[in-house]
Amino acid sequence: MRDSTVAIDISARSAYAERLKRAWYRFSRSKLSLLGLLMVASIIFIAIFAPVVTPYPEHAGAFVDFGNTMHPPSLEHPFGTDAMGRDILTRCFFAFRGALIMGIVVLAIVVPIGTAVGLFGGYFEGKWFSTIVMRVTDVFLAIPPLVLALAIAALLKPTLTNSMIAVCISWWPWYARLVYGMTVSVRNEPFVKAVELTGMNRFKIMFSEILPNHLGPILTKMTLDMGWVILTGASLSFVGLGEQPPTPALGTMVSDGAKYLPTYWWISVFPALMIVIIILSFNLLGDGIREMLTSGE
């Protein structure tokens, strides 16, 4: 960490700008991180402007054109058409919307809950109520998350909202465990002990002294998880427990298309490819963020 250009007398604002600039430098050093950022940005752009960027926006709903079924990929239909004669590219792009909403909503619910539980459990580690909370977390972790999500989704009506609820219930313990581990490891550090001596409120210590140290790993996990949450949503709809037709969902499209393999391969292969691309994008971005937050120099 040699640095000869550190100016000491810079205002807080420019120090912040400087830090952002350095972070960006570390992030942009890797071409793959930049690619990930670009891909994620494109996915978001496509999802928002789906009605504008897709060739046949009307195909996103309960559209039927029996004259045009099962067309292989062509210039008019780059991903081909499905059994209803709908343009697969259009439906894939519209499906990005549900996928992103799923990822964002689930993480927006799961991260605060999991973080709070982990902080609480970690800070009060050894106390009986912390033990109970963490044992409950262990119980959730004892069921593979996709299996738990499938079971919960099965007991609810198959809608996008309900699959989000199902994924939330199976996802929060992972954040609880991550934050718990990190909190236990810093709980006895001098900086925590010092503010404890000042008599600061314990909840304030947890959130304003301990939590800021965990933001990096949490942010990294969130970025990576966007892809995995979207995959879990796609898995639910693949099995038939997610959003119901005619709303396009990538998982549903893949499983519908699987019936027509191998002759009409494009019906399932392109939506599957879109799932891979979404996961890949968020993984590249997440790796870039991790690199940015952990690399020295």
Partner 1 sequence: MSLTKYIIKRIVYSIGVLFGVSILIFVISNIVPGDPARMALGPRAPEWAVEDLRKEMNLDKPLVERYFLWLSDLMRGDLGESLRSRRPITKDIAEYLPASIEIIALSAFFMAVIGINLGRLSARFSGTWFDGVVRILSYTGIVTPAFVWAILFVLLFSYLIPIFPTTGRITPGLAAPPRITGMYIIDGLLTGNFRVALNAFWHIVLPSLALSMGGAAQAARMTRASMVDNAEKDYILAVRAYGVPNKLIYRRLLLKPSLVAPISIMALDIAALLGNAFLVELVFLYPGISRYGVEAMLNKDLFAIISVVLIIGIGYTIANVVIDVIIAHLDPRVRLGGAKSA
Interface positions with partner 1 (CB under 8 A): 135-136, 138-140, 142-148, 150-157, 169, 227, 231, 234-235, 238-241, 254-255, 258, 261-262, 265, 268-269, 272-273, 275-276, 279-280, 283
- Rounded to 5°, the CA angle 114-116-120 comes to 120
- In terms of CB distance, is 48 or 147 closer to partner 1? 147
Q: State the nearest-atom distance from the C-beta of 244 to partner 1, in Å.
A: 12
* Spatial separation of the C-alpha atoms in residues 297 and 200, rounded to whole Å: 35
Residue 153, CA distances (Å) to 141, 168, 232, 236 in order:
17, 11, 11, 8
* Spatial separation of the C-alpha atoms in residues 173 and 115, rounded to whole Å: 9
Q: State the nearest-atom distance from the C-beta of 184 to partner 1, in Å.
A: 11
- In terms of CB distance, is 101 or 279 closer to partner 1? 279
* Spatial separation of the C-alpha atoms in residues 197 and 203, rounded to whole Å: 14
Q: State the nearest-atom distance from the C-beta of 82 to partner 1, in Å.
A: 15
- In terms of CB distance, is 184 or 195 closer to partner 1? 184
Q: State the nearest-atom distance from the C-beta of 107 to partner 1, in Å.
A: 18
- In terms of CB distance, is 138 or 189 closer to partner 1? 138
Q: Are 125 and 181 in contact (CB under 8 A)?
A: no
- In terms of CB distance, is 182 or 275 closer to partner 1? 275
Tokens of 252: 């549903």
Closest CA to 163 of 105, 113, 116: 105
Q: State the nearest-atom distance from the C-beta of 261 to partner 1, in Å.
A: 5
Q: Are 250 and 274 in contact (CB under 8 A)?
A: yes
Q: Coil, strand, or helix at residue 199?
A: coil
* Spatial separation of the C-alpha atoms in residues 228 and 243, rounded to whole Å: 17
Closest CA to 51 of 64, 60, 42: 60
- In terms of CB distance, is 211 or 235 closer to partner 1? 235
Q: State the nearest-atom distance from the C-beta of 258 to partner 1, in Å.
A: 6
